[in-house]
Amino acid sequence: MYSVATRKEHLFERVRAIYRKYKTPFVGIHIFNQPHLLVRSPELLKKILVKDFDKFINRNIATNESIDPISFHTLFASKDATWRNVRGKMTPVFTSGKIKLMLPLMKECAKDLNAYLTKCNGETVEFRKVTKKYSVDIISSCAFGINSNCLKNADSEIMKMATKLIDFDSFVRSISIFSFFFIPKFVNIFRLTFVDKTASDYLIDVFKGTIKEREEKKIVRNDLIDLLNHLRKNETVNDTYKFDDMKMAAQAISFFSAGNDTTSLTISFTLYELALNKEVQDRLRQEVRESFDEVGDFTYESVQGMKYLDWVLSEALRKYPLTTFLNRISVADYTFEETGLTLDKGVCVLVPVAGLHFDPEYFPDPEKFIPERFSDKNNIKPYTYMPFGEGPRNCIGQRFGLLVSKIALAYMIKDFAFEPTSATSIPIKFNPGSLFLQNKGGIHLKVVKI
């Protein structure tokens, strides 16, 4: 992992290399003196992620409430009872009914994206930046209740803060974030925070300001702020965990940091593959146009009904699993009955998502982009495909992220063709400094209005 910490190799490549080298059900490795078990066997993964979840409830992420109260209360980093309480409260916020109510807000941003591309007709566009503007617009609207207008305004303040929040381009910040997973001692010694403090303070102020305005003007938008406020108001004396302003803001910040790059990168990697696979692009456009013409717009039901769109996105998430590994830590000594192996309390388990997604046994010709693999999802062996993780601790924003990505792709592919140019990096190279899977130098594609 030295090569990863020093930004010579991306974690994605490292995880795939270890997965390929050892053919055993699990591999023991040390990362900076910390013992880890990399588990390759889907059967053992099922036990860790689902059947014996109580023994592996936490991620191995350093948290310290006094140094970094925001991260301590986020779903991603919280532990034990705090996590159970927050997840229990937040789960009803992400039902399909609630996400459906946010569709009008998402569609406004997708139309802005379409208008943005219209102005770029015939030009080569760097799509990572554009899709990030789109995702920041959506999450600002849904999680903070504000119109950030990043697609319209090149100097948007919130865009700067979104970039700063988890900034991998800064060497110091990327080492800090690496420490949270692999060198937890550094977190206490150097008093590190998982998200940048200036950016999180800015977002807390925005959040509090919106809550105040909603209360005063009785505004209802059916967004995350309304849902969080509703949860707080309905708390009873029996609630062991109560939301205050800071804990509510922590959730909004966690959605901002967990939801932005993940969705924008997913959309840009999908466009990259569509540009390189013209027949897939044409077939997708045909489906999208037929669906649009039937209703004269995109609705929640019509987006869910586009099967090929779903296969395309599923395949993009297989080839580009943004979180290249999942991690859990054993809360007590644990014996795998099948193998007799005993894991001591406190050993970190790594789930090599990047390795599994490229294993030819589960995905023949893994380097090829073949959406049809997902035509029958029952054919995918359980615990070999996990772009959103698995079990009770999986991605709570999966439905939201998929809808945001599908709406963007539908609005773009309906009216534009995407082509590779001499600026497009083929094959793709990954940026070793980033935690999420991110390519080096952006995704440059030519846009043609059709």
Q: Which residues of 378-394 are buried (b: 16+ CB within 10 A; e: fewer)?
A: eeeeebbbbbbbbbebe
Minimum CB distance to ligand HEM smaller for 52 or for 419? 52
Residue 406 near residue 298, CB atoms below 8 Å: no
Minimum CB distance to ligand HEM smaller for 62 or for 396? 396
Give the ranges where 31-156 is alpha helix by DSSP (H): 42-46, 69-73, 80-90, 96-101, 103-119, 127-144
Peptide bond into 42 cis (omega under 30): no
Q: Mutual orientation of helices 103-119 and 127-144 as an angle, nearest 10°? A: 150
Segment interacting with ligand HEM (CB under 6 A) among 147-155, 198-206, 334-342, 383-391? 383-391
Q: Is 387 in the site for ligand HEM (CB under 6 A)?
A: yes
Sequence-distant (≥ 6) Cβ neighbours of residue 318 within 8 angstroms: 357, 363, 373, 385, 387
At its nearest, how many Å lie between ligand HEM and the CB of residue 195? 13
| Among residues 145, 401, 433, 442, the one that binds ligand HEM under rule CB under 6 A | 401
Residue 351 near residue 370, CB atoms below 8 Å: no
At its nearest, how many Å lie between ligand HEM and the CB of residue 385? 11
Determine if residue 395 is labeled as part of a ligand binding site. yes
DSSP per residue over 391-427, as a string? Answer: GGGS-TTHHHHHHHHHHHHHHHHHHEEEEE-TTS-SS
Site for ligand HEM, residues 153 to 192, rule: CB under 6 A: none
Q: Which residues pair with 36 in a beta bridge?
A: 29, 348
Site for ligand HEM, residues 73 to 102, rule: CB under 6 A: 75-76, 87
Number of residues that bind ligand HEM (CB under 6 A): 26
Q: Is 263 in the site for ligand HEM (CB under 6 A)?
A: yes
Q: Is 266 in the site for ligand HEM (CB under 6 A)?
A: yes
Segment interacting with ligand HEM (CB under 6 A) among 178-186, 231-239, 377-385, 398-406? 398-406
Q: Is 103 in the site for ligand HEM (CB under 6 A)?
A: no
348: helix, strand or coil: strand
Fill in the per-residue mask, 291 to 330: x = in contact with ligand HEM (CB under 6 A), - = not in contact. --------------------------x----xx--x----
Q: By the criterion CB under 6 A, which residues form the site for ligand HEM? A: 75-76, 87, 254-255, 258-259, 262-263, 266, 317, 322-323, 326, 387-390, 393-397, 400-401, 405
